[in-house]
Structure 1
Amino acid sequence: MTTIQTVAFDDQKPGTSGLRKKTRVFMQPHYLENFVQAIFGAIGGAKGKTFVLGGDGRFFNDRAVQVILRMAAANGAARVIVGRGGVLSTPAASNLIRQRKTDGGIILSASHNPGGEDEDFGIKFNMANGGPAPEAITEAMYREASVIVSYNILEAQDVDLMTLGESSLGGMAVEVVDSVADYAALMETLFDFDAIRAMFTAGFTMRFDAMCAVTGPYATEIIEKRLGAAPGTVVHGTPLPDFGGMHPDPNPTWAHELMAEMMGPDAPDFGAASDGDGDRNMVVGRGIYVSPSDSLAVLAANAHLAKGYTRGLAGVARSMPTSAAVDRVAEDLGIEAFETPTGWKFFGNLLDAGRATLCGEESFGTGSDHVREKDGLWAVLLWLNILAARKQSVEEILNAHWQKYGRNYYSRHDFEAIESDKAAAMVDALRAALPDLPGREVQGMVIAAADDFSYTDPVDGSVSARQGVRVLFEDGSRIVMRLSGTGTQGATLRLYLERYAESGFDRDPQEALAPIIRAAHELADIGGHTGRTEPDVIT
């Protein structure tokens, strides 16, 4: 064991999903090591503890895993459970942490961000419940990283991570496990694989785009091998360090191949995609796209059809920018509905306390209490279970849902890589104007309320302030603006737009939302502050 002297970096403050930077930043001498040592410091040390370790296989994943293993050994960890090849999807890692009752886990991923030597990399710590570290812990990591003067590391050869089984590293046990097996077994306890298999046998067709990312092996094992979908149902199924040059974000912009196929004349019955680390999903029916907010609402309304949820739901939770569609389902079911800040970590207390069963975010993340992360493939399998049980198409299920609950027309506009100071000035100006907005008419609509969202956790009482600017209109329409914490370059402005309709469910969302869009640009003066008039991505 060697103690290496180091100097603190001033940019190691975790965001909503850990620390994300350009890969070359992490490849600097001491950069990764400093932050890993800060993680151990923030959780009270590693001595005698057991951790799960793995990542989404992006560039530098393999080297980072070896470094972290040698640091864990040098810091006295008793055991590290690693996915074969150093690879684990984020939900599979969460499952392992919970199943093996470990002290937490280190997950290497920048989620839906591009991968490669000149692209993005990330690292985060998940707690013993399997969920992302709460703000108190990430703030402790930042404090540790800001004053670090040394780190501990073992001088040793690389560990063989391709062979299943156990080995020793400086007295620490290293256990290499099958990345897919435990996760697939969990899915079989939640869903009616026999009914889904019968649906495929009867001619049901599907396309799953793994986007050259970590979900490929999981989807191939479960959808093709266990559920009997035709070989080739899973496309882009081999994980690659640069995701094959793809942007592994499952939305209509980046999963354009899947969208083109699903909107084409020979479309399969069902389409889905997942992201870099397997925690996000996009769902598409033949000729119809399902927004994440609608998907969450449909899953909540139909979850009882899957064997893992026949008991019903304790409650549902959504991030504040996500549409209120699921709230209407919760009211109908007579269960609690929670509105939290963006970031999956805010759902953890609700899930642990048994207050919520299903959770979702508009950013293509959906999950349940089976793990403490959002789970892309889980959401796809729940959709398949619902389709098998209802014997209807995606379009028929959506239309029936809107007829019962109405439709929350919804969209998110992303303005990426804005100069950080310009983005901050724009949001600050809007915040300053909030007290004067109620009663003002904009684009023919009257503002009923405006605030900067603050959340008080109903379980532990913790408060999270300044979580996004909200402008609510008298007709129930809504604008939300926030700066994202998941990018690595400049700032990303996320503009969320929502309008409720009790009829006329077949309109194009951008057309239905047109006055809301114009009002948002007018209120925030997006063009004046940023020089941008059109978003980079629309979802």
Structure 2
Amino acid sequence: MIRVVATTPFEGQKPGTSGLRKKVTVFQQPHYIENFVQGLFDSLDAFEGETLVIGGDGRYYNREAIQIVIKMAAAAGFGRVLVGKGGILSTPAASCVIRKHEAFGGIILSASHNPGGEHGDFGIKYNIGNGGPAPEHVTDAIFERTKTIREYRIMEADDVDLDALGIARVGDMVVDVIDPVEDYAELMGELFDFDAIRDLFASGFTMRFDAMSAVTGPYARAILEDSLGARPGTVMHGEPLPDFGGHHPDPNLVHAKELNDLLMSDDGPDLGAASDGDGDRNMIIGRGRFVTPSDSLAIIAANAHLAPGYKDGIAGIARSMPTSGAADRVAEKLGVKCYETPTGWKFFGNLLDAGLATVCGEESFGTGSNHVREKDGLWAVLMWLNILAVRRQSVAEIVAEHWETYGRNYYTRHDYEEVDSAAADALMADLRARLDTLPGTVINGLTVERADDFSYHDPIDGSVTTKQGIRVFFTDGSRLVYRLSGTGTAGATLRLYLERYEADPIRHDLDTQDALAGLVQIARDLPDIEGRTGRSAPTVIT
């Protein structure tokens, strides 16, 4: 029986870069998640009898939210739901399942790399039939509907046993509880040379993979340890926990410090890797060598042909605007185009669907390819393993050779988290107002060549996206980028990106922060970050 429930709108149910993210306590309010899901269904057409994929990253409130979504999908008229056992589906695995089973779309319950637990964050987002995040015209329609909603519909039914594989029914809708790893692992086996990677591990190669008590643990154990023969215990923090074991599930040098310290020791493993809350981000570290996300993208693009799934080469590269220009140099040498898009994986979807790009990456530890329509943390790790298995060099040697060939883009990101939103907005507005007067200005010995507010013209659908980050270019080739991130739930996150290109191999072994010290000072002084925000230093440096 379908129950119609009267409701009133909640303010602020606007999906951001990766869906709607709020504190758990916000989502737990009566009718809150129901309003959003009804707004989503009301914004879609022609899904009666179709298949919907549902899953999440296992964080606190994941199971309860999934039961609500299942019952509302039944009331809305979907014919079938595919849901991961235990409510688990990593974001890239959800994209894989949507694509393989030709589903109408999918609902992913996740706040990605944000903290979990009862007092942590929660999130929900919709992915369309190509497996990728809903484009802005869809998320805008959802938001508009949430502002006027007066009722929602939900099936009165018992909860589905999410821990039992197999078929259940909610009303007339079939619910299929599936193995969350199976389809994804099968796809990885088609893309990479698993035999070569098995030989690598059999030769004594060692690694540690930090799943950060998040969703990638079951995937990493099944593929790395069970299938590829990595030593038992290779996967650390491998059990998904509602509070991520108290960890901040963001794979960077601050939150994955235990892994980084291990790799920087003399007796550390050959490779260290980590993934985030929902499995779409990655961090790569070799013994004694951290690989920046920008360099990782460039090295993957330059070596992708070593993996069977990419043996014919790549059609193009796409990178988010704040990501360094390292991938551009690879694209130039390969004779393919490198597309510069706004931050947010959804902007890669049209390029991937049109066959214009094969490998994509963004500055915030996200890398992926056309195999799905999401960034994919474990895919990046397997690509690195495939490269290492073929080249039989260390991570440090591969990075050094890459810099010798292409030059080094010294690059860093400074994050100022939970800054007062009004102060952050004022800082950006002031910078924006000064764009026309900055060219020709000399700051601490560097001359501003040009400055702009990045806009993106989609080459496929012609859409235009504006105000995606303020860029300041200097005559020596250095670059600054200022952005406000849309992934937090409290205050604002001011992201500052700094980049300087160095062609001379003799100068490739400088410490990144030392190499960029002068630029860092300019970047802080130009908008007066300390004066406007009260922050004398960033929260996180990567």
Alignment deviations for residues 113-153 of structure 1 (CA, whole Å, 9 cap, x no partner): 01011010000000000000001101001001111110000
Q: SS in structure 2 opposite 1:296?
A: helix
2:391 corresponds to: 390
- Give the distance between the partners of 1:46 and 1:515, measured in 2 at CA: 56
Q: CA deviation at 1:44?
A: 2.4
- Give the distance between the partners of 2:225 and 2:334, measured in 1 at CA: 35
- Give the distance between the partners of 2:42 and 2:286, measured in 1 at CA: 47
Alignment deviations for residues 334-359 of structure 1 (CA, whole Å, 9 cap, x no partner): 00100000000000000000000000
AA of the residue aligned to 2:361: G
2:517 corresponds to: 514
2:532 corresponds to: 529
1:152 corresponds to: 153
Is the 8 Å Cα contact of residues 163 and 176 (structure 1) preserved in structure 2?
yes
Q: CA deviation at 1:310?
A: 0.3
2:440 corresponds to: 439
Alignment deviations for residues 369-410 of structure 1 (CA, whole Å, 9 cap, x no partner): 000000000000000000010010000000000000000000
Q: CA deviation at 1:160?
A: 1.1
Is residue 324 of structure 2 the alignment partner of residue 307 of structure 1?
A: no
2:121 corresponds to: 120
1:64 corresponds to: 65
Deviates more, 1:464-473 or 1:520-529: 520-529
Q: CA deviation at 1:450?
A: 0.2
- Give the distance between the partners of 2:532 and 2:8, measured in 1 at CA: 37
Detail structure 1 runs of 4+ shifted over 2 Å in the superposition: 44-49
- Give the distance between the partners of 1:146 and 1:163, measured in 2 at CA: 38
- Give the distance between the partners of 1:273 and 1:174, measured in 2 at CA: 32
Q: SS in structure 2 opposite 1:528?
A: helix
Percent of aligned pairs with the same amino acid? 64
**Aligned pairs for 1:77-96 within 5 A:** 77-96=78-97
1:367 corresponds to: 368
2:270 corresponds to: 269
- Give the distance between the partners of 2:237 and 2:158, measured in 1 at CA: 33
Is the 8 Å Cα contact of residues 107 and 125 (structure 2) preserved in structure 1?
yes
Q: CA deviation at 1:47?
A: 2.6
Alignment deviations for residues 244-276 of structure 1 (CA, whole Å, 9 cap, x no partner): 000000000100000010001210000000000
RMSD: 0.6
- Give the distance between the partners of 2:376 and 2:418, measured in 1 at CA: 27
Q: CA deviation at 1:162?
A: 1.2
1:402 corresponds to: 403
2:25 corresponds to: 24
- Give the distance between the partners of 2:51 and 2:222, measured in 1 at CA: 28
Is the 8 Å Cα contact of residues 271 and 285 (structure 1) preserved in structure 2?
yes
- Give the distance between the partners of 1:66 and 1:453, measured in 2 at CA: 41
2:318 corresponds to: 317
- Give the distance between the partners of 1:194 and 1:394, measured in 2 at CA: 20
Is residue 233 of structure 2 the alignment partner of residue 223 of structure 1?
A: no
Q: SS in structure 1 opposite 2:436?
A: helix
Q: SS in structure 2 opposite 1:498?
A: strand
Is the 8 Å Cα contact of residues 50 and 79 (structure 2) preserved in structure 1?
yes
Q: SS in structure 1 opposite 2:526?
A: helix
Is the 8 Å Cα contact of residues 454 and 468 (structure 2) preserved in structure 1?
yes
2:207 corresponds to: 206
AA of the residue aligned to 1:438: P
Is the 8 Å Cα contact of residues 105 and 125 (structure 1) preserved in structure 2?
yes
Is the 8 Å Cα contact of residues 457 and 463 (structure 1) preserved in structure 2?
yes
Q: CA deviation at 1:232?
A: 0.3
- Give the distance between the partners of 1:154 and 1:346, measured in 2 at CA: 35
- Give the distance between the partners of 1:47 and 1:4, measured in 2 at CA: 21
Q: Which runs of 5+ in 2 are unaligned?
A: none
Alignment deviations for residues 211-238 of structure 1 (CA, whole Å, 9 cap, x no partner): 0000000000000010001000000000
Q: CA deviation at 1:46?
A: 4.4
AA of the residue aligned to 1:509: T
- Give the distance between the partners of 1:45 and 1:198, measured in 2 at CA: 49
**Aligned pairs for 1:133-152 within 5 A:** 133-152=134-153
Is the 8 Å Cα contact of residues 47 and 104 (structure 2) preserved in structure 1?
no
Q: SS in structure 2 opposite 1:436?
A: coil
Is the 8 Å Cα contact of residues 154 and 170 (structure 1) preserved in structure 2?
yes
Is the 8 Å Cα contact of residues 209 and 273 (structure 1) preserved in structure 2?
yes
The alignment covers a number of residue pairs equal to 539
1:479 corresponds to: 480
- Give the distance between the partners of 1:5 and 1:47, measured in 2 at CA: 23
Q: SS in structure 2 opposite 1:399?
A: helix
Q: SS in structure 2 opposite 1:231?
A: coil
- Give the distance between the partners of 1:167 and 1:352, measured in 2 at CA: 34
Q: CA deviation at 1:161?
A: 1.3
Is the 8 Å Cα contact of residues 58 and 243 (structure 1) preserved in structure 2?
yes
Q: SS in structure 2 opposite 1:266?
A: coil
- Give the distance between the partners of 1:490 and 1:381, measured in 2 at CA: 36
**Aligned pairs for 1:345-360 within 5 A:** 345-360=346-361
1:98 corresponds to: 99
Q: CA deviation at 1:166?
A: 1.2
Is the 8 Å Cα contact of residues 46 and 72 (structure 1) preserved in structure 2?
no
- Give the distance between the partners of 1:53 and 1:33, measured in 2 at CA: 15
So what's the TM-score if we normalise by structure 1?
Answer: 0.99
AA of the residue aligned to 1:35: F
Q: CA deviation at 1:325?
A: 0.1
Is the 8 Å Cα contact of residues 471 and 478 (structure 1) preserved in structure 2?
yes
Is the 8 Å Cα contact of residues 4 and 150 (structure 1) preserved in structure 2?
yes
| Distance of aligned partners of 1:86 and 1:123 in 2 relative to their CA distance in 1, 3 Å threshold | same
1:2 corresponds to: 3
- Give the distance between the partners of 1:390 and 1:509, measured in 2 at CA: 26
- Give the distance between the partners of 1:525 and 1:48, measured in 2 at CA: 56
1:186 corresponds to: 187
Is the 8 Å Cα contact of residues 45 and 75 (structure 1) preserved in structure 2?
no
Is the 8 Å Cα contact of residues 84 and 162 (structure 1) preserved in structure 2?
yes
Q: SS in structure 1 opposite 2:498?
A: strand
Alignment deviations for residues 451-496 of structure 1 (CA, whole Å, 9 cap, x no partner): 0000000111000000000000111100000100000000000000
Is the 8 Å Cα contact of residues 317 and 340 (structure 1) preserved in structure 2?
yes
Q: SS in structure 2 opposite 1:524?
A: coil
- Give the distance between the partners of 1:42 and 1:528, measured in 2 at CA: 44
